[in-house]
Amino acid sequence: MHDLRLHNTLTRQTETFVPLDAAGRTVTFYSCGPTVYDDAHVGNFRSFLNADVLRRTLELIGYSVRHVMNITDVGHMTDDTDADGGGEDKMAVAGRRIAEAKKSGKLPPGADIDPRDPLAIADFYASRFLEDARTLGVKVAEESSKDPTLMPRPTQCIPQMIALVEKLIARNHAYVAGDGVVYFDIRSFPAYGKLSGNTLDALREGAGERISADNQSFKRHPADFMLWKPDAAHVMKWDSPWGAGYPGWHLECSAMAAAFLGEEIDLHSGGEDNIFPHHECEIAQSCCGYGHSSFSRVWFHTRHLVVEGEKMSKSKGNFFTVRDVLARGITPAALRLELIRTHYRTNANFTWQGLKDCQRQIDRWSRAHAELVRQAANTPAKFGADNINHGPFARILEQFTVAMCDDLNVARALAAINTAVGESSEVVPADVCAHAELAALERMNGVLAVLQRNVSPSADLHGDSEVVEFKAKVESLIAARAAARTAKDWAASDRVRDELAAIGVQIKDSAQGTTWTRM
């Protein structure tokens, strides 16, 4: 049995992780997902993938994890530094961008939608996000095809949000101001600022830069933040006791976490830019609304990603989505490894050379894996036999696990695998079980999730066996999908399509049949 040591942003300490249900070894985990007004970029995916690695590490050491990630489709404004959500709704920005793309004839495939329809825009980008996430092996995205509650959308949870606001007002933690907006009273929650290190005095001094004088005049404290805003002119609006309007961004996650995980949870993740104001406000709402001393017991934050040493920017030409990177012939495996190999609490430098290095490393593992698959298929299992010794992969599994349990020390875990690959030989010795070796390597890959996404045409695989296996698997899945479509079993057809996307295969249907390409 291994204990996971994990840094907790709330306490600023690395602690032994103990879930609420320690006896049942179950974990509740909430991750802040994308706002679907555009394609997520590689910096966004660094946070999502680190959360995925954390979830997989928990499963490696025997926990059952219920992982929920939201897809924000309403109420998230362009100014994230303003606790009220300043600027304009990001869905309106997306609509304007799509309208401009229509005029210029540069719409992305499938984006011929009404730019005035925010739900259609959200559905379009949510679908693209799910494709990207499944391609890179984000487990919660893969599971959501069967259980949509794992990736909820705010627009589907408005009643839960209204109920939470009502609780906060009833408990004197929120008030309806003179402008009709419902605000959270931060002075009613003395722990406000503990996560981010902000104080009420500092927030008061800085509020003038973020909140207009008109808006401040309605608040009891300049840093009180919005829970519900009546706005009959807003395209996305819902009836409420405070008038037709829409929820605050922070409110959404508190309500959805409670609805799908419980009022108090074990883990909450996001990028470091979520710490304030978003996660600080979530804690206040959830603790005050549901009456618990804590919301999430552990907070897990990933630091920023830069590209070739510079901040990512469209104006600099170094802004990349997952699709941009894969279009250059990079495998999903290499991209995933490049985004997770730097420790999550360190700023990561994304480079094209780094992607090449990751690909060479994965190709070595793939050759070793293909050889173990071949030998295991040709030899009987010898588990438990007295005369069987551990091979390099079985020996190294413990080192790998200890490294991952040390606050996700991926670098040390990768070194363990590389050591095992270096010690392995073409032929597994007679006193070593090929099945045990294969099982150990696949358990480690269960955390990294790269071997099944390694579709590099440059991989020098032993006898091309993995290439042959890959093609055979793809053709088998395409045949299964065709059979499902003939039977009009569209759910089964979609599941096969998702499985193909997960291994980096894009399919295209035509009158001549279905063709496939590697993403």
pLDDT of 105-144, one tens digit each?
777 777 888 888 889 999 999 999 999 999 999 999 999 9
Beta strands per DSSP E along 313-396 = 348-350
pLDDT digits (tens, 9 = 90+) for 304-332: 999 999 998 877 888 899 999 999 999 99
222 with 208: CB under 8 angstroms? yes
pLDDT for residue 360: 93
Residue 168, Cα to own-chain centre: how many angstroms? 30
**Top-confidence residue, 181 or 386:** 181
Would you state the torsion angle of the CA atoms of residues 288, 291, 293, 298, taken in this order, to the nearest 10 degrees?
-80
The whole-number average pLDDT for the span 51-65 is: 98
Question: Span 41-62, mean pLDDT?
Answer: 98
Contact 228, 165 (CB under 8 A): yes
Pairing of strands 26-31, 182-184: unpaired
| Mean pLDDT along residues 217-237 | 89
End-to-end, the C-alpha distance of the chain in Å comes to: 39
Backbone Cα Rg of the chain = 25
Instruction: Calculate mean pLDDT across residues 493-519.
Output: 73
- What local confidence, expressed as pLDDT, does residue 12 receive? 98
Does pLDDT of 458 surpass 70? no
pLDDT score at 488:
84
Question: Across residues 342-359, what is the average pLDDT?
Answer: 96
Residue 488 corresponds to which tokens in the numbers above? 């009009």
pLDDT at position 383 over 70:
no
Torsion angle, CA of 350/351/352/355, rounded to 10 degrees?
A: -60
- Across 51-60, 209-218, 231-240, least confident range: 209-218
Residue the block writes with tokens 């003395």:
190
Q: What is the pTM of this model?
A: 0.85
What is the Cα 505 distance to its own chain's centre? 21
pLDDT above 90 covers a percentage of the chain that reads: 63
- The answer to whether 504 and 135 are in contact (CB under 8 A) is yes
- Average pLDDT on 154-158 reads 95
Asked whether 157 and 256 are in contact (CB, 8 A), the reply is: yes
| Residue 13 CB-density burial (10 A; 0-12 exposed, 13-18 middle, 19+ buried) | exposed
Provide the b/e sequence for 170-209 (b: ≥16 CB within 10 Å): eeebbbbbeeebbbbbbebbeebbebbebeeeebeeebee
